[in-house]
Structure formats: C-alpha cells, structure tokens
Structure 1
Amino acid sequence: MDGILPLWKPVGMTSHDCVIKMRKLFKMKKVGHTGTLDPDAEGVLPICFGQATKIVPFLTDTKKTYIAALRIGRSTETEDASGATVEEKEVTKLPGREEIEHVLKRFTGAIVQIPPMYSAVKVNGKKLYEYARAGLPVERPSRTVHIDSLHIVPHPLEGKDCFGLEIMCSKGTYIRTLCVDIGKELGYPAHMAALERTQTGDFGKTDAVTFAMLEEAAAENRLEDFLLPMERGISHLPRIEVNDETCIRVKFGQKLPRPDSELPKSPFLMTHNDQVLAVYEENQKNEREIRPVRVFTEEQKSR
C-alpha cells in the first residue's frame, strides 16, 4: 500500500508512537510521519506509507497552522503545562486586547528562536532533552523561523490568565517558545497551556482520521480506503510543464538544461499533461542545469 493518511494525533502519544501503531494496524514496516507533534499536543499529522515515504522531506517542509492557548503567570521547565514550575507572578487581569495585538506584531515575519531544553534538537550528537534530564548545561543554537500570521482567537481555556492564538508558520517553529516569548513581552512568565495543529500543507482538520476510525476500518478490512494519493503531499510545490521529448528524459531521471524561462524556487515539480513526473531542483554544481531529486514511476503514481 502506498499513500498518505492525515492522522488526527491524540494527546498523550508521541509522533513515533503513532507510527508504531500504524505499522501494526496496516501490517507494514515502511511508514513515516511528516513533522513531530509534542505528546501534549493534538492535531493533523500526515503519515506516509510505502512509496509515499519518499516525499516525507517535501511534506515536512510545508507551512503549519496551530491553535494554541497561552497562559501567563507561570513558566515551566518544558514551556508547556506538564513541566515543573520555574517562575510565577500573580495575574489580576489579562492585558487588554490592544496591548496583546501590539506585542503580536513584533512576532510576525522572520523571528529568531532558541529551542526549548526539552526538545529533540541535537547539539554535539545529543538531544537537548538528554542534557536537560542529566542536568548538564549546554549552549542552545538559535534558529530563524517565519511567522506568516498571528492572531487572537477564542479558546475553551481563555480567562483572566489565558487567551487563544492562531499561528501560521514555517517548519521548525516552536509554539511553546513563541508563547513564552510573547508572555515575556507582556511582562509575565508564561507557558503553552494547550496546542492543536489544524493544518499541515494541504491537509486540514476536516481531512483528519482518528485511531478509532482506523480500528473500526481494520476490523472491516478497509484501511486502504483512508490512503490519499502521494501527489497530494507535494501539491504545494511549483510546477514546470514539459513537452513530450523532455518528458522522456525526466522519466529516466536525467539532468536537464536550465529552462530559458524564470525558474521557480527549488524544489519544483516536473509535469506532463498535468501529471507529476518528478521533483527537480537547481544543480548547485552547475548553474546551467537542473537535476532530479525524486522521479516517480507510473506504478507509484497509479497507486
């Protein structure tokens, strides 16, 4: 079986736990997820099966949309609700909407984040959470991420110390850290009280499938019904339509001369009659060429 399944990851499971459970349900080993969600978070987690695992890097690189609850007055070791308290400050009244929106503007666009200590970012071959659990100090590398939009939204947890946020952002963004940093700008220790991922690339909440639905389908031997075509996972990439002659060269995975027309940002799709043939990119070793990253066979595309 080949394809993509947009799972609704439940709270309490790691993304890897979900992959393990999928392998058991589908009785296959070639399964991979497309972007880690913390155990405390729930939401859209596309799972790739079979040949679709070869497009994982392109789907992981898509923009994500989240709904988060930001609680001020308490910061934690893990930057979420499950961590031990680091600092507290009494909150008598939530800052006004105008003040919050003014702060949010500072976090829109390109921003620099320092990943939380309790994260899987590696430093010198070890994950940060391994340093944290061992009580070892380590310098955390900063990273630049992009926040496309950041707005206040209603949330079930909202109150005098908590409000909801909708965030559209690039891959690699730590929403926990974003909540902590916004809290600091508001003058309070803070943490992320809840998180839901509502969109990953082309896959949204309405597409998502729960484990309960999958277990019912497994009993009826119809799990394959939930698999979507792998092309759905790369629909966000720009396209170049090729002629019959170039189509043959693309199918054989050949390097090609750089087109005379303006080249889209890498990576990009090569298509013929609107059918996806391959993923290509600029050849860094020869600026006059483009080269294949992944070529799809007719058998793979028909599944």
Structure 2
Amino acid sequence: MAKEASTLSGLLVVNKPREMTSFGVVARLRRVSGQKKIGHAGTLDPNVDGVLVVALGKATKLIDLLQTRPKTYRGTVTFGFATESQDADGAVVEEKALTEPLDEEKLRAAFSALEGDIIQIPPIYSAVKVKGKRLYEYARAGESVELPKREATIYRFRPTSTLRWEAGKPYQSVDFEATVSKGTYIRTLAYDLGKSLGLPATMSSLTRTSGSGFDIDEATDLDELMALSEEDLAKRVKPIAAVLTYERKDLSDDEYFAVKNGQKISQWPKNQDGFYQLYYHDQLIAVYAYSEEESLWRSRYFFA
C-alpha cells in the first residue's frame, strides 16, 4: 500500500549549511517530512549559511508574504580584488594591491552612504531572469546581455570590526552587518562599497542571521532535522499563525460561512493595517485584506 501523503502544515526554520543549495535543503526535508507541498522563502547561495525558512503544506501560501520581510546578514568584505560573481567563489577579474591601511573614517562613511533606497546591478553570475533566461546561463554560454537594474532598500549597513590585513596578501578585510529589503544582493553591496572607495572588493563570507521574521537562534541545523522521525519533526514545525502579525478577528457562524466560501465582506470597518487574521472556534481560518478600490474585504489566504 502506498504511503499516505503528509498533511503537515507550518514552518521550519533551518540553519542552512554551506556548500548546499536552498533547493537541496527543500528536497531533503521533503523526504523526511513526507510533505510534497514544500518551498522556501528567500534563496541562499550555496556558499551562504544561516536562516532559511521552509514552508510546508498550507503554509506555502505565505511564501510571498515571508519574502517581503527584511533580512539581516553578517559577513566580511575584502578589499584588493574583485571576482566575476562578486563573491569568493568566482574567478578574479580585477586586483589592486593595497600598500597602506585604509582610512577607517572614510570606510565608515562609505558604509553609511549606501544606506537607504538604492539601485543595484546584479552580477552576471546570478539567478536574475532576463528574457526568460537566468543571467548565469548567459554567462556560461558566453552570450552578452544587458544587466538589469533593481531597486533595493538598505535599512542598516555598518562595519562590525576594525580593518585587518589578510595573511600574506595585499588585501584588507572588515566584518559587517546589513539589514536589507527583499531582492538585495549583499555581494553587490560589498562590491559597490569597494567601488565607492576606488577599490575592487569581494564579499568573502556571509551568514543570514534573520529572515522572514525568524532569528538564527530559532533555527535548527539541517542534519539534526534529518535525523528526526516524522513525529518528532512535526514538533519542530511552527504554526502558520507564528508569522502573522495582523489584528485577530473571531468569526460568527454566518461570517465563517461567508469566509469559507470566499465571499467579499463589506460590513467590517477598515482597521489600521488593512488585514485581519480570522479565527473560528479558535482555529485560524484565513487572512482577509481590505480593498481600497472596492471599499470591502477580500480573501487573501485561506487555510481551513
């Protein structure tokens, strides 16, 4: 008899290891959870570790919401060389040996200058799509393509260490912390930091310390999750309500019938953030969003 499909729904906060793709994490958790409907919020490059939020079952409906939330990273930028991918995995395309220490005050000013709303041009070795193909596919095929411009918001970008010389090399490195919006390329941020100082620069290490509303101290190592039984894994799954910050509304019987059938609702007054998380008999049923155009409430996510 075929194994019954899992009905597990919720969120797993994974501490993704390096040398693994985000897709690889999802594939492994699909096997151990038995849940075929599974996805992740916010891709991490193979050489980046840290917080990766994986959604299972009905929680996959929230991936678009989870990806809009700010993310925080700790990393290192190295001045003196640049690569084609803007991180340590790419081939070196520019070098400029440093013969004297960088000015710490100018460095701090360069960090601050990149805070706020900015425009980024992602590296050719990235997964950004142009005309149906990812940029790295153009690069591997030796084809030229105009690199797109992307808007990003840098909420915080600050050095967290003093500059240090790399052992036996004419390079200097500094650690940093960055809190950024969806779609920000941290390696491009590091590259642009160097560019503002007139130097080639490379993001030499990176860890995501928070994402989709969860911090790294809430994350579990992938190997630990893989060693759990389905029953024990289910205990690590956070409920969908754990990521909803909207005002709660408890439904009457008539309201529940309307929500269950996806009906629009005009009787509810508009609240401050324009969203309600809806409960019936203490069970999360749906999220409704207010439509300014229609002056009524519409179903955004349905879970029950």
TM-score interval, normalised by the smaller of the two chains? 0.7 to 0.9
Structure 1 residues 75-131: Cα deviation after superposition (integer angstroms, max 9, x where no partner)? 001110010011000123442332112111211111111121111111111111100
1:282/1:90 Cα in 2 relative to 1: closer, same or farther (>3 Å)?
same
Q: Aligned partners of 2:153, 2:289: CA distance in 1, in Å?
A: 22
Aligned residue identity for 1:25: V
* SS of 1:217 mapped into structure 2: coil
Aligned to 2:4: none
| In structure 2, C-alpha distance between the alignment counterparts of 1:155 and 1:8, rounded to whole Å | 27
Q: How does 1:54-133 map to 2 (within 5 A)?
A: 54-133=61-140
Match of 2:138, SS state, is helix
**Equivalent of residue 147 in structure 2, options 134, 140, 146:** 140
**TM-score (normalizing by structure 2):** 0.87
How big is each residue's C-alpha offset from its partner over 1:155-183, in whole Å with a ceiling of 9 and x where there is no partner?
99875611111111111000010000001
TM-score computed with the length of structure 1 as normaliser: 0.87
Deviations 1:211-262, CA, capped at 9 Å, x for gaps = 22123323x9522121111222333xx4364664784333432212285545
Q: Distance in 1 between matches of 2:86 and 2:214?
A: 27
- SS of 1:29's partner is coil
Distance 1:92 1:246 in 2: 75
> Offset of 1:42 from its aligned partner?
0.3
Q: Once the 2 structures are TM-superposed, how far is the Cα of residue 142 of structure 1 from its aligned partner?
A: 0.8
Output the CA distance in 2 between the equivalents of 1:157 and 1:29: 47
What is the CA–CA distance in structure 2 between the aligned matches of 1:36 and 1:251, rounded to whole Å?
33
Cα distance in structure 1, aligned partners of 2:44 and 2:184: 11
Matched residue, 1:253 = 262
Equivalent residue, structure 1, for 2:204: 193
2:231 is aligned with 1:224: no
Instruction: Give the secondary-structure state (helix, strand or coil) at the position aligned to 2:220.
Output: coil
- The match for 1:6 is 13
Q: 1:80 to 1:247 in 2, by over 3 A?
A: same
Identity in percent: 38
Which runs of structure 1 show a deviation greater than 6 angstroms over 4 or more consecutive aligned residues? 155-158
Question: 1:207: which partner in 2?
Answer: 218
Distance in 1 of aligned mates of 2:164 and 2:237: 34
Among 278, 287, 291, the alignment partner of 1:279 is 287
User: Which amino acid in structure 2 is aligned with residue 174 of structure 1?
Assistant: Y
What's 1:270 paired with? 277
SS at 2:155 equivalent: strand
Residue of 37, 41, 46 corresponding to 1:39 = 46
Counterpart CA distance in 1 for 2:114 and 2:45 is 22
In structure 1, list runs of 5 or more residues that go unmatched: 298-303
Counterpart CA distance in 2 for 1:198 and 1:24 is 26
SS at match of 2:187: helix
Paired with 2:247 and 2:163, the residues of 1 have a C-alpha distance of 41
Q: CA deviation at 1:9?
A: 0.6
* 1:173 counterpart residue number: 184
Alignment partners' CA distance in 2, 1:226 and 1:92: 51
2:240 aligned with 1:233, yes or no?
no
For 1:146 and 1:276, how far apart are their aligned partners in 2? 32
Q: How many Å apart are 1:37 and its aligned residue?
A: 0.2
Distance 1:157-1:217 versus aligned 2 partners, 3 A rule: farther
**Worse overlay, 192-201 or 146-155:** 146-155
Structure 1 residue 27: deviation in Å? 2.8
RMSD of aligned alpha carbons: 2.5
Deviation at 1:209, TM superposition (A): 0.8
Cα drift, residue 292 of structure 1: 1.1
Paired position in structure 2 for 1:161: 172
What number of residue pairs does the alignment pair up? 291
* Partners of 2:114 and 2:154 within 8 A in 1: yes
**Structure 1 residue aligned with 2:302, among 273, 278, 295?**
295
> What SS class does the counterpart of residue 51 from structure 2 fall into?
strand
CA deviation after TM superposition for structure 1 residue 294, in Å: 0.9
* 8 Å Cα contact 1:69/1:158 also seen in 2: no
Structure 2: give runs of 5+ residues left out of the alignment. 1-7
